[in-house]
Structure 1
């Protein structure tokens, strides 16, 4: 065991001593300085990481009583109706009682119209009573089913709402082919309940089967083993035999095609972008090999990707066996494929080992960002990995500086987290990555890799808390290397707001050269003297982000005239350029910005662009664009942008 000057005790005993963080607790654990008199001179008190109690570790964003009774399998039989924008049918749920006397199964439901509820008892289906609670704006409704004696399954007949936030229905005009409609889901973090009544929390893992009926001219795919006959016939069956949290259920239906990359990887997409997507993602097998060499075998059978329409609000979504991807990744030069590495890495961190509630989102996203960066280094060299960490750190520091409150800048999110979306900031992604990078530097890469490989294997197909990780870390790494880190350092990284001085400061020689060119130009140089032919996307991002706040319109015009930045087809470059142009009032960028906001729905780009417009006196212009663009955005994006305009 590790020796330390701090003891960790449960919050119920917090009255015994003052907390080492100014008397505040994180809701689960209190840190107290050990009384030196209790030890012999030079002896330190033993550190004990105590797992959170069930009450403290509970997911506050679910109504379900999963600690009493737990759903284990869902069988779906659903019809997809594009005319009414409704999914209807039945969900049959298997469950196991954690407590023998439980007579109620509480599920999550959001805008579901319940038609009938039945319970399976002794081989027969009988009508079961239920209550549907009031609708909460964030959580939806508490759906409580009364279980007859001996019930071992429930079956719910229902239909979804046309306005379900987790489901986007696209008209033919909103697709590239313009001939057929399209549907895709996005369930992270709590939107599976808008399509299926279930225990919608990452603490619960389920297997599932699904039978779907769709228009016969469309293909349906899910985050599962795909329909084995592969025929375009409107009748599709799927099976996910490995237990996953509900947010990893996923569905897409549209006029899509498939192109193989190798024997267990391929790409689905609309025809217009299929070949380009397969070419852009052709390094995915090498990414898989790199991660397997570090952290053990890929355990999901296939790894396919689907490139969705532009309204998909994220860069990627790690749905097992079928990652969802934004078309903004198709840059033609593989410069943005770190997102591919990220979603693939989730096959280990997030999908295999999952945070049990969104307060611990860094366990998913920080680990994945770390594995992503290691993968990019293995494939493309240390310089690219360093450049990406350098850019990420700058974004992290901006996130921390602009946080609504300090508690949201600790890896462990506060107990009063208002919405799980608040956990998905650079704090969880980049901050978590830099914490693991800190541990790698202290323990050594070879030792730390071996530890992570064992960690993924030990917790495979489980949902865990931050404290579960820390306990495993203490027992299986820190105990063997007690001098590598201190208790105070771990506390500062995980529980304290902001980030400690021990965070890495990545330095890129390539960025230094870019900065030197920029400074020479700003010092009355000629824009024609720029040498950018070998610049990567990362160097362009560094350059634009490093432009001074007082950059003039004339200087931006010179750059735009030379490099056509306002019409860049690289969405990452265009995004940072537009933000710079908005702040400087560079008018020639506004027409292409209008076009960008009309055709791109990825939140990473459109949220900060609308916010920057509002913050820089362009609210009226932004509202006019949004009125035209809103119908093409995902409901999640609509909610976020509505909030921007609402202040």
Structure 2
């Protein structure tokens, strides 16, 4: 049945309003020696208009060798001109056919795929993972690479027998004897949520419907770290309805993974940087789990609407945290989020601080980082405060039910918000300053404020230190990770080197295994020039930037370091060594920061 039309997507050449893919079936061989996948993609089609005879897919340097109909007959096809960002349109003359088979292989340069050498992994065996958000799925599968187009899929994947394959689908928990694996994803997902990983992996159960995969030396520590996963799922369900994806498992990837986490359905991909050893960073799991509703269940229609994924998810994440860990803990997260937002507003161009973005003609990976997340969440907090939590929760639960497995654009959401929530509550656009939030720069003056007694105590100690107090006399007993991050962020950039040396000696910031604390400290050391005062800090900086590939955090450190001529030279020196180990997403980000090459 033909449903509502697809919204024009500036980042896809596909034409799903004519012929749309409804199911994909992959049959692929993983070739580590040549760094490529090869095989077939069988696509089930829906003709949405009577005269539609062409299927248009997005590809990026895929080697398409043949396209055939279901009965094996050759179909005419053309690969269009290559664009560095958008790739090439693959136009297939399908006639009235409702199934086609694309024979293809990926390029070793496929930007979604990172092939890791044995020395880059904990197990000493090769590893492969894909990262398709926002528009990189086309670099490893032929697809209609728009978040508005959803498909069910299945796959058969063959890998070296000493390795295990996993996908964002129904997964095995044990290695197969012959290296052949079959997968099924019965719920429709957009292409950016189709994911593959291959490595030396083991599984540990976390609960009746949750578990963790990781390399053998990592998996037990990860299972301990993620002990609250099942409780998070239950808290999320109490808030906004049933979890609709069957299982929720987590895959801990090697350090080069460019994000904190990726919400691939049924199998969140996670960075090892959240394994702090004290469960202090597992709110990231709450975030990726929340995407099972906001993003995976109801998906932004284009990347201009990404706040509908990420802003909702940050809001939902903090609600899960509040359920499990209490209000004071959540207040700290909200305050740190506001700090990140204020920094982003200062750093971004004004147009990039709107909620509804305009990324046409740009790589969506080049869009603003924290604006959709933190400004979007703050806007939802404002709505909650205006209409009341009970009414807002009822609205959100109904929203996820009403638009489940569909896409959403900003205009449609705002119309729904008005008719289903604001007007019945007697709230006008002017009451919320709605236009200023969605189609205006910065943060409107009616933004909620969040008090935190825990942070007030930190500020008191920073004031003591700034006034010349002794570091040894500071009252830091019982501080948690978020308080330490706030402490480091609150230290003045022009603090005397002796003061910075004293706090580092006392609290071990340069050697911190907590990536949030380490990042804040190295940002301060880079911006202040303190890194050049202490060889040990410089070594910690180099180790951090060569060991981690998480784009947001290494970007912050590189940016602060690159603020001076001397710092930029050092940044480029470190990057020359570190760059080959980074995923293409991180490479693209840091290339711009340091002016590489």
TM over 0.5: yes
Partner of 2:72: helix, strand, or coil?
strand
Superposed, 1:92-131 pairs within 5 Å as 92-120=42-70, 124-131=71-78
Superposed, 1:156-171 pairs within 5 Å as 156-171=102-117
How far residue 171 of structure 1 moved from its aligned partner, in angstroms, is 0.6
Superposed, 1:620-639 pairs within 5 Å as 620-639=569-588
Q: Which residue of 1 is the match for residue 15 of structure 2?
A: 65
Q: How big is each residue's C-alpha offset from its partner over 1:47-105, in whole Å with a ceiling of 9 and x where there is no partner?
A: xxxxxx969x4110001011211110000000000000010000011110111101111
Structure 2 counterpart of 1:223, from 147, 155, 168: 168
Q: Which residue of 2 is the match for residue 522 of structure 1?
A: 466
Pair 291,469 (structure 1): closer, same or farther in 2 beyond 3 Å? same
Q: Do the aligned partners of 1:358 and 1:423 also contact (CA within 8 Å) in 2?
A: no
Alignment: residue pair count = 588
**Using the alignment, how far apart are the partners of 2:101 and 2:360 within structure 1?**
34
**Using the alignment, how far apart are the partners of 1:257 and 1:359 within structure 2?**
38
Superposed, 1:38-187 pairs within 5 Å as 57-120=7-70, 124-148=71-95, 150-178=96-124, 180-187=125-132
The answer as to 2:557 corresponding to 1:609 is: yes
**Using the alignment, how far apart are the partners of 1:415 and 1:165 within structure 2?**
20
Unpaired runs of at least 5, structure 2: none
**Using the alignment, how far apart are the partners of 1:487 and 1:131 within structure 2?**
53
Of stretches 452-461 and 560-569 in structure 1, the one that deviates more from structure 2 is: 560-569
**Using the alignment, how far apart are the partners of 2:183 and 2:116 within structure 1?**
23
Partner of 1:448: helix, strand, or coil?
helix
Partner of 1:247: helix, strand, or coil?
helix
**Using the alignment, how far apart are the partners of 1:399 and 1:415 within structure 2?**
17
Of stretches 626-635 and 344-353 in structure 1, the one that deviates more from structure 2 is: 626-635
Structure 1 counterpart of 2:390, from 446, 470, 473: 446
How far residue 485 of structure 1 moved from its aligned partner, in angstroms, is 5.4
Superposed, 1:254-333 pairs within 5 Å as 254-333=199-278
Q: Which residue of 2 is the match for residue 204 of structure 1?
A: 149
How far residue 397 of structure 1 moved from its aligned partner, in angstroms, is 1.0
Of stretches 191-200 and 410-419 in structure 1, the one that deviates more from structure 2 is: 410-419
Pair 353,424 (structure 1): closer, same or farther in 2 beyond 3 Å? farther
How far residue 229 of structure 1 moved from its aligned partner, in angstroms, is 7.2
The answer as to 2:430 corresponding to 1:486 is: yes
Partner of 1:378: helix, strand, or coil?
helix
Pair 383,158 (structure 1): closer, same or farther in 2 beyond 3 Å? same
**Using the alignment, how far apart are the partners of 1:490 and 1:350 within structure 2?**
22
Partner of 1:477: helix, strand, or coil?
helix
Q: How big is each residue's C-alpha offset from its partner over 1:352-380, in whole Å with a ceiling of 9 and x where there is no partner?
A: 00001000000000000000011111111
Q: Do the aligned partners of 2:353 and 2:368 also contact (CA within 8 Å) in 1?
A: no
Q: Do the aligned partners of 1:211 and 1:235 also contact (CA within 8 Å) in 2?
A: yes
**Using the alignment, how far apart are the partners of 1:480 and 1:291 within structure 2?**
26
**Using the alignment, how far apart are the partners of 2:173 and 2:341 within structure 1?**
44
Q: Which residue of 1 is the match for residue 405 of structure 2?
A: 461
Pair 584,483 (structure 1): closer, same or farther in 2 beyond 3 Å? closer
**Using the alignment, how far apart are the partners of 2:574 and 2:421 within structure 1?**
53
Q: Which residue of 1 is the match for residue 415 of structure 2?
A: 471
**Using the alignment, how far apart are the partners of 1:251 and 1:93 within structure 2?**
18
Unpaired runs of at least 5, structure 1: 1-52
**Using the alignment, how far apart are the partners of 1:422 and 1:194 within structure 2?**
18
Q: Do the aligned partners of 1:361 and 1:424 also contact (CA within 8 Å) in 2?
A: no
How far residue 423 of structure 1 moved from its aligned partner, in angstroms, is 4.0
Pair 105,335 (structure 1): closer, same or farther in 2 beyond 3 Å? same
**Using the alignment, how far apart are the partners of 1:177 and 1:424 within structure 2?**
36
Q: How big is each residue's C-alpha offset from its partner over 1:247-298, in whole Å with a ceiling of 9 and x where there is no partner?
A: 0000100001000001210000011111111111110111111111110000
Q: Do the aligned partners of 1:442 and 1:485 also contact (CA within 8 Å) in 2?
A: no
How far residue 549 of structure 1 moved from its aligned partner, in angstroms, is 2.4
Pair 515,394 (structure 1): closer, same or farther in 2 beyond 3 Å? same
Superposed, 1:401-416 pairs within 5 Å as 401-403=346-348, 405-414=349-358, 416=360
**Using the alignment, how far apart are the partners of 1:144 and 1:628 within structure 2?**
41
Q: Do the aligned partners of 1:94 and 1:152 also contact (CA within 8 Å) in 2?
A: yes
Q: Do the aligned partners of 2:80 and 2:89 also contact (CA within 8 Å) in 1?
A: yes
How far residue 622 of structure 1 moved from its aligned partner, in angstroms, is 1.5
How far residue 417 of structure 1 moved from its aligned partner, in angstroms, is 5.8
The answer as to 2:185 corresponding to 1:236 is: no
Partner of 1:480: helix, strand, or coil?
coil
How far residue 624 of structure 1 moved from its aligned partner, in angstroms, is 1.6
Q: CA RMSD in A?
A: 1.5
Q: How big is each residue's C-alpha offset from its partner over 1:605-632, in whole Å with a ceiling of 9 and x where there is no partner?
A: 1112112221123122222211111111
The answer as to 2:369 corresponding to 1:425 is: yes
The answer as to 2:503 corresponding to 1:559 is: yes
How far residue 389 of structure 1 moved from its aligned partner, in angstroms, is 0.7
How far residue 233 of structure 1 moved from its aligned partner, in angstroms, is 2.9
**Using the alignment, how far apart are the partners of 2:400 and 2:461 within structure 1?**
44
Q: Which residue of 1 is the match for residue 308 of structure 2?
A: 363
Partner of 1:135: helix, strand, or coil?
coil
Q: Which residue of 2 is the match for residue 435 of structure 1?
A: 379
Partner of 1:134: helix, strand, or coil?
coil
Q: How big is each residue's C-alpha offset from its partner over 1:402-457, in whole Å with a ceiling of 9 and x where there is no partner?
A: 11x21111100126362212445211001110111000000100110011000000
**Using the alignment, how far apart are the partners of 1:272 and 1:143 within structure 2?**
43
Of stretches 486-495 and 252-261 in structure 1, the one that deviates more from structure 2 is: 486-495
**Using the alignment, how far apart are the partners of 2:106 and 2:359 within structure 1?**
31
Partner of 2:482: helix, strand, or coil?
helix
Partner of 1:217: helix, strand, or coil?
coil
